[in-house]
Amino acid sequence: MTMLSKDKTPTTLLALALDGSRLEAVVLRRTNGSVTIQKTATATLALDLFKDEVELVGKELRDALDAAGIREKRCVACVPTAWVLSVHAGIPEMPEEDVPGFLEIEAERGFPNGMEDLRVCVSRYAAPSGARFATQLAVTREHLARLDEVLEAAGLKPHGFSPGLTALPGVLAARPNGQIAAVVGESAVDLLVTSGGGVVALRSIEGAFDTEGGDRRLQSEHVARDLRITLGQMPPEVRGGVREFKIFGASRFAEQLMIELRPRAASMGLLTEHVPNFGSEAGGLKVPDNTPVSCALALAAQYLSGRKPFEFLPPKPSLWKQFSERYSSGKLAWAGVAAGLVAASVIGLFGWQQFRLNGLNGQWSAMKKPVSELEDIQKQVRKYRPWFDESHTSLSVLQRVTESFPEDGSVAAKSFEIRNLASVSCSGTMRDSPSLLKALDRLRAVGNVSDIKVDSMKGKAPAMQFTFRFNWGTPRRNEN
How many residues in total does the chain contain?
A: 480
Tell me how far apart the alpha carbons of residues 286 and 280 are, in angstroms, rounded to a whole number: 6
Peptide bond just before 462 cis, omega within 30 deg: yes
Q: Please identify every stretch of the chain with a pLDDT value under 50, giving residue numbers as ranges.
A: 1-6, 479-480
pLDDT in tens, 370-415: 888 888 888 887 777 655 555 577 888 888 888 888 888 888 888 8
SS3 annotation, 88-146: EEEECCCCHHHHHHHHHHHHHHHCCCCHHHEEEEEEEEECCCCCEEEEEEEEEHHHHHH
For residue 81, the model assigns a pLDDT of 93
According to CATH, what is the number of the domain 170-277? 3.30.420.40
Q: What is the pLDDT of residue 368?
A: 82
Sheet holding 423-430, edge to edge: 411-419, 423-430, 463-472, 449-460
Task: Report the C-alpha gap between 404 and 355 in whole angstroms.
Answer: 56
Instruction: Report the C-alpha gap between 479 and 170 in whole angstroms.
Output: 61
Q: How far is it, in rounded angstroms, from Cα 293 to Cα 239?
A: 27
Q: Where are the domains of the chain?
A: 1-164+279-312, 170-277, 317-357, 398-472
State the fold for domain 1-164+279-312: Nucleotidyltransferase; domain 5 (3.30.420)
Could you check whether 170-277 and 398-472 share the same CATH topology?
Answer: no
- Coil, strand, or helix at residue 429? strand
At 6, is the secondary structure helix, strand, or coil?
Answer: coil
Indicate the pairing of strand 178-184 with strand 242-248.
Answer: parallel
**Per-residue confidence (pLDDT) for residue 350, from 0 to 100:** 83
Give the pTM: 0.65
Please give the pLDDT value at position 1.
33
Interstrand relation of 271-275 and 242-248 (parallel, antiparallel or unpaired): parallel
Choosing among 1.10.357, 1.10.1740, 3.30.1360, 2.20.28, the CATH entry for 398-472 is 3.30.1360
